[in-house]
Structure formats: C-alpha cells, structure tokens
Amino acid sequence: MNNKGLRLGNLIQDGKGRVFHSVLGHTDKNSLNSVKCAGFITTLLRGAEWVVTGDVTQTISSDFPNAKAVTIWEDLEAPDTK
C-alpha cells in the first residue's frame, strides 16, 4: 500500500489460476522513467515469477526505492531473442 492506504498491486489465486496486477508503471507520454524504475521492474519480475511458479525466489535489489531515493535504470535494453 502507498502512504494513502491505496493498494499498488494485488496477487489473486483462484484454484490453480494466479493473477498479478500492478498499477505501477503508468507514465505520462513524455517520460518512460516509471517503467525504468528499479521498483517497477523488480515488482513486475517478482509478480510474473509468482504467476508462473507460485513462488518468489528473486531478491529485491539494494537500490529498490525507499522514502529517500528512487533509482532509474537508464541503460535498459531489450534482450536478444534470437
């Protein structure tokens, strides 16, 4: 939850099905910083892992956002899928 008591994400399990939902990553059209945020990427990866495996083994990075600092990973590139 954020400081206003609003959920920023949900994990839902129904039988064998699992859903991960996050409101993080929304951005204005002039900036992609929110999707380059260490917090967004870490949350997305851990949520996706939970959906696929039912477990979370990925650690939280040392530069995960906190009340004092937000880290933007500027040098992100799409993986080579060939």
Q: Cα separation of 41 and 64, whole Å?
A: 10
What does 29-71 look like in DSSP terms, one character per residue?
Answer: TT--GGGGBHHHHHHHHHHHHHHHHSS--PPPPTT---SS---
Of 8, 73, 81, the residue nearest 41 (C-alpha): 73
Give the pLDDT of the chain (82 residues) as one tens digit per residue. 556 666 788 888 999 899 999 888 766 666 677 888 888 889 999 999 999 999 999 999 888 988 898 888 888 766 666 6
Q: Cα separation of 63 and 71, whole Å?
A: 6
Map out the domains of the chain as residue ranges. Answer: 1-74
